[in-house]
Amino acid sequence: MIAPVAASTSRIVVTDLDGSLLDHYTYDYTAAETALNALEHAGVPVILASSKTRAEMQALREAMGNWHPYIVENGAGIAVPSGYFGPAVTPTEAEGDRLPLAQPRAHWLQCLDAVKTDFAGEFESFAAGGDQWVSEVTGLSLEAARRANQREFTEPVAWLGSKDRQSEFIRTLESMGARVQRGGRFLAVGGDADKGRALRNLRDRYADYAGAAVKVLALGDSHNDVAMLAAADAAVLVRSPVHEFPRLDSDFAVYRSEAIGPEGWAEGVFHWLEGEQV
Ligand SMILES: [Mg+2]
């Protein structure tokens, strides 16, 4: 593998995966390839940012030929290829390429263990369920389930009890310092992190490396992308085939794509590149 080194760049792109760069149904990104090539030609690194684990994202970025840092588990951590921003300068970097922005999974597993008796039989975590169970409840292959279960910062929990008891469960975990996010199928238990904070952290690293300000384009399609879009200099909301555009808290400049998924992603990138050239 080629040792990745950061280009001294003045622009970066940070993007959500599912429903944005990747098609909602097929996970295909062919429709975005011309835009990805245009960014590479312009020397603009593309930073992948997802709720996926590092193991899941590693497989994907290798397939894409992307060697840049990436944001994992909804902003709870950043993976920086060793040496990307020059020689290691902090103990964290010296440890490897893992930059935690929230408490580790083990901390949240301890919290779940502490409430196990009070909520007996009412929830199942990925850790307790195991790879086979994760495969069964998600429909992922066993190999993909194994990667999804290689978590570093967050714990997905399937709720089996009543709605009222779920609210009590969430309140209990929040009183222990957890942030509990309701997803489609699971509750995600983790620390106080989001993709927006991870974006700012990475932007500062690029700016330090370049010795100048760095402009960021962020692209996403869902509610969990809003903090990331708001933290960027320019934002693209990618049209979804299954839900409306998410509500934005503030009135920052955002381009809403006409096309859906990766095709809308490419549309947004070209819109940004054209505007940047003026
Ligand atoms: Mg998405």
Cα 126 to Cα 103: distance, rounded to the nearest angstrom? 17
Neighbours of ion ligand 1 (CB under 5 A): 16, 18-19, 221-222
Q: What's residue 85's pLDDT?
A: 86
Q: What's residue 2's pLDDT?
A: 47
For residue 50, report the distance from its CA to the centre of ligand 1, in Å: 8
Q: How many CB atoms lie within 10 A of CB 18?
A: 17
Q: How many CB atoms lie within 10 A of CB 52?
A: 22
For residue 199, report the distance from its CA to the centre of ligand 1, in Å: 16
Q: Are 23 and 61 in contact (CB under 8 A)?
A: no
Q: Are 78 and 72 in contact (CB under 8 A)?
A: yes
Taking the model in full, what pTM does it have?
0.90
Q: What's residue 269's pLDDT?
A: 98
Structure tokens at 271: 């819109």
For residue 18, report the distance from its CA to the centre of ligand 1, in Å: 4
Nearest Cα to Cα of residue 146 among 123, 129, 122, 124: 129
Q: What's residue 97's pLDDT?
A: 74
For residue 72, report the distance from its CA to the centre of ligand 1, in Å: 13
Cα 221 to Cα 228: distance, rounded to the nearest angstrom? 11
Q: What's residue 3's pLDDT?
A: 47
Q: What's residue 277's pLDDT?
A: 59
For residue 268, report the distance from its CA to the centre of ligand 1, in Å: 15
Q: Which domains, from first to last, does the chain contain? A: 11-101+194-277 (3.40.50.1000), 105-190 (3.30.980.20)
For residue 58, report the distance from its CA to the centre of ligand 1, in Å: 18
For residue 15, report the distance from its CA to the centre of ligand 1, in Å: 9
For residue 238, report the distance from its CA to the centre of ligand 1, in Å: 9
Q: Are 50 and 66 in contact (CB under 8 A)?
A: no
Nearest Cα to Cα of residue 78 among 69, 67, 91: 69
Q: What's residue 92's pLDDT?
A: 54
For residue 89, report the distance from its CA to the centre of ligand 1, in Å: 33
Structure tokens at 208: 């330090």
For residue 119, report the distance from its CA to the centre of ligand 1, in Å: 31
Digits of tens for pLDDT over the chain (278 positions)?
444 566 678 999 999 999 999 998 888 999 999 999 999 999 999 999 999 999 999 989 999 999 999 999 999 999 998 888 877 655 554 445 778 899 999 999 999 999 999 999 999 999 999 999 999 999 999 999 999 999 999 999 999 999 999 999 999 999 999 999 887 789 999 999 999 999 999 999 999 999 999 999 999 999 889 999 999 999 999 999 999 999 887 767 799 999 999 999 999 999 999 987 54
For residue 90, report the distance from its CA to the centre of ligand 1, in Å: 32
For residue 117, report the distance from its CA to the centre of ligand 1, in Å: 35
